[in-house]
Structure 1
Amino acid sequence: MDSPPPPAALAWASELAGPAAGAWAVQRLAGGAHAATHLLRTPDSSTELVLRRFPPGDRAPAYEARVLAAIDGLDGWAPRLAGADPDGLRFGEPAVLITRLPGHADITPACPETAAEQLGRALARIHSVPLARLSGLRDGMAASASVTRSAGRGPAAPVLAAHADRLAGRPPVLTHYDYWSGNVLWQHDVITGIVDWSGASLAPRGFDVSWCRLDLVLLHGPGTAEVFLTAYQEAAGEKLSDVALWDLFALTNSYRTVETWVPNYHDLGRTDLTAAKLRQRHTEWTEDRLARLPENSYEPCDRPR
């Protein structure tokens, strides 16, 4: 999937963009391992589209097209759908074409705490979208259940299993499902948009919060995750319940896979992070979260005896 788009893909983009787009300059965009992502730009830069190509048989582009139609650009904070070929009929790979948002991903900010504040406020904005405009989105907690079964191991797994219903019962919001620094675009140190909506769902707000906090811990340390949470709660106008339990949700679901995130981090400039470092930070964050649980509050007493 790292290969350049085939000529048939560029012909498809030209059909959708109109006669002015007779030729394209192609640039690979960094980040992400699920899809091959390329910027298509006309020579005069009058038209810019982003082509996302997926492995044959992948159903993610079909769902991403549905999500992008539902969120309708999020007032400029999300791409708009320009075209979709979820069955790969045009050139053998399922794909979507979307509008380009200004900015670029940045996981090496000069001031991680300032970036974390913006990440928190941006997420609160996403979570405030009225549910009435989000018909057809999946249940995010149900969708993650298979991940929990396959990747959900580690010291926090019994606690999480005992209280899965507690988390799933929280009120749903628009959830990005993969809200981390690499899916946020920046321009002049200001967030300009959020990309990669292929997993967006309806789920409790703690879902996105916990995954972004885990990412910030791995990148910059626990202090940055706390700055993010404070900014999020202030912007949302309410405190998040069961923060430590939600953190354990993200930790448990990433227990077996955290080392595989190394290529994503390297692609965006954090070549200092190794699999060993990610595992160490993941373990330390797990131990911290378990220690922060109120005594006896989450005792997994309903496990089979």
Structure 2
Amino acid sequence: MGGTHAVTHLLETAEPAREMVLQRFPRGDDAAARHAAALTALDGLDGRTPRLLDADPRGRRFGEPALLISRLPGSADIMSVSPDGMAVQLGRMLAQIHAVPLERFGGLRDGVAAAAASAGGSGGPAAAVLAAHGHRLADQPPVLTHYDFWAGNVLWREGRVTGVIDWSGASLAPRGFDVSWCRFDMVLLHGPSAADVFLKAYEEAAEETVPDMELWDLSTMARSRRTVETWHPNYRDLGRTDLTGAVLRRSHTEWTGRCLASWGRAERPRL
């Protein structure tokens, strides 16, 4: 439950007793190949990511692209974890991901370029700011980027993070790419204060500040502007039935306005 890209099944065997996860992707989708490459390089991330057991990225055996991966303990949970507890643990987990040495990875796509190509054109309240200053983001050093780091792609058990799933989008991008995306998720789930708690926890764990955080937040608002209303099934399936398309759109509009105001305050001394 909670995902819309791949069809996901739990497989259980009796002898030997084992649990595995089968993911089936749409025909022609290259996400299975990208997912398999990322999991191979991550090598389990100290037990925090699934291990790749088998892959059929072109669907030659299975009829459609498919992956078989190990099952991590825990489940997606956006209901029972406290807002601040969730924000702190997500921040620390993301810092751990961004610390993975890039030498493990070969041929990862450029996440900023991929996001720009799929954005469907510019526009919206943040467009003018990004047109004038967006180059500052692309010039920042890259890290391993999950590309869709939000609470629903994190597994929990008894209020603690047990792992991170859905690595099909793994890319190279500056750290602000993931940080701003998860900040918006925190806004949708628990409000702006949770987004700030998340950022503080991330920067403390990473021992790095995120350059141009206000500009990254605006980038996420532009990136999500056309699709935010379609996210409601992901939240609904995980228990947040209150986050309807209309509520998500309203939150997007309000956070965009807040981000523009933050950008104005941050840039005033430079102008």
Do both proteins adopt the same fold according to a TM-score greater than 0.5, normalized to the shorter chain? yes
The one of 63, 83, 108 aligned to 1:112: 83
Task: Give yes or no for the alignment of 1:163 onto 2:133.
Answer: yes
Q: Deviations over 1:162-201 (max 9, x none)?
A: 2222101111111100000000001111101000000001
Q: CA deviation at 1:52?
A: 0.5
Q: What is the match of residue 58 of structure 2?
A: 87
Ranked by relative contact order (alpha carbons within 8 Å, sequence separation 6 or more), the top structure is 2
Q: What is the match of residue 208 of structure 2?
A: 238
Q: CA deviation at 1:110?
A: 4.0
Q: What is the match of residue 20 of structure 2?
A: 49
Give the whole-Å Cα distance in 2 for the aligned partners of 1:194 and 1:153: 32
Q: CA deviation at 1:239?
A: 1.3
Q: What is the match of residue 260 of structure 1?
A: 230
Closer/same/farther in 2, CA of residues 110 and 85 from structure 1, 3 Å limit: closer
- Structure 1, unpaired ranges of 5+: 1-29
Q: Secondary structure at the match of 1:282?
A: helix
Closer/same/farther in 2, CA of residues 45 and 234 from structure 1, 3 Å limit: farther
Give the whole-Å Cα distance in 2 for the aligned partners of 1:232 and 1:133: 23
Give the whole-Å Cα distance in 1 for the aligned partners of 2:40 and 2:171: 13
What letter corresponds to residue 35 of structure 1 in structure 2?
A: A
Give the conservation status (yes or no) of the 8 Å contact 1:153–1:253: no
Task: Give yes or no for the alignment of 1:102 onto 2:58.
Answer: no
Q: Deviations over 1:216-275 (max 9, x none)?
A: 101111010000000001101121111111011111000010000001110111111111
What pairs with 1:192-231 in structure 2 (closer than 5 Å)?
A: 192-231=162-201
The one of 103, 111, 129 aligned to 1:132: 103
Closer/same/farther in 2, CA of residues 146 and 43 from structure 1, 3 Å limit: same
Give the whole-Å Cα distance in 2 for the aligned partners of 1:208 and 1:296: 21
Q: CA deviation at 1:152?
A: 3.9
Q: Secondary structure at the match of 1:52?
A: strand
Q: What is the match of residue 5 of structure 1?
A: none
Q: CA deviation at 1:44?
A: 6.4
Give the whole-Å Cα distance in 2 for the aligned partners of 1:45 and 1:213: 42
Task: Give yes or no for the alignment of 1:35 onto 2:10.
Answer: no
Q: CA deviation at 1:135?
A: 2.0
Q: What is the match of residue 147 of structure 1?
A: 118
Give the whole-Å Cα distance in 2 for the aligned partners of 1:294 and 1:224: 22
Give the whole-Å Cα distance in 2 for the aligned partners of 1:73 and 1:296: 39
Give the conservation status (yes or no) of the 8 Å contact 2:23–2:66: yes
Larger Rg: 1
- Kindly tell me the number of residue pairs found equivalent between the two proteins: 269
Q: CA deviation at 1:295?
A: 4.8
Moved more, 75-84 or 253-262: 75-84
The CA RMSD over aligned residues, in Å, is: 1.6
The one of 15, 19, 33 aligned to 1:62: 33
Give the whole-Å Cα distance in 1 for the aligned partners of 2:191 and 2:122: 23
Give the whole-Å Cα distance in 2 for the aligned partners of 1:296 and 1:42: 56
TM-score, L = length of structure 1: 0.85
Closer/same/farther in 2, CA of residues 169 and 191 from structure 1, 3 Å limit: same
Q: Secondary structure at the match of 1:173?
A: strand
What letter corresponds to residue 279 of structure 1 in structure 2?
A: R
Q: What is the match of residue 241 of structure 2?
A: 271
Q: What is the match of residue 4 of structure 1?
A: none
Q: Secondary structure at the match of 1:209?
A: helix
TM-score, L = length of structure 2: 0.95
